[in-house]
């Protein structure tokens, strides 16, 4: 997902993790946050039952925010990823 920041934004925060509806899958994912095409943050590999990763990224001077989820391991069923409590802080 890519978001065009139409004003001065200072940060992005969230909890990135595998959704509880992924109970029967053994797939894994990795989360990344990009600003203006540059990776600003990357999680470790996460699967069902792993604690969500805390995301706190500065967006100072950035014009776009892109949130990416990459599949790392094959699971029996799709692995549902969530950016919980996501907040873009702007002035």
Q: What is the pLDDT of residues 58-76, one digit of tens each?
A: 999 999 999 999 999 777 7
Contact 15, 55 (CB under 8 A): yes
Query: pTM above the 0.85 mark?
Result: yes
Query: Could you report the per-residue pLDDT of 8-45, keeping only the tens digit for each?
Result: 999 999 999 999 888 788 889 999 999 999 999 999 99
Q: Which residue segments constitute the domains of the chain, with CATH numbers given?
A: 2-90 (2.60.120.1060)
pLDDT at residue 78 in the model: 83
CA distance 67 to 48: 20
pLDDT at residue 77 in the model: 79
pLDDT at residue 22 in the model: 81
């Amino acid at each position: 997902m890519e978001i065009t920041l139409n004003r001065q934004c200072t940060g992005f925060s969230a909890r990135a993790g595998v959704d509880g509806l992924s109970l029967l899958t053994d797939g894994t994912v990795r989360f990344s946050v990009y600003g203006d095409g540059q990776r600003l943050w990357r999680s470790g590999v996460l699967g069902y039952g792993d604690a969500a990763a805390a995301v706190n990224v500065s967006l100072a001077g950035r014009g776009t925010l892109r949130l990416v989820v990459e599949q790392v391991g094959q699971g029996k069923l799709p692995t549902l990823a969530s950016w919980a409590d996501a907040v873009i802080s702007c002035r």
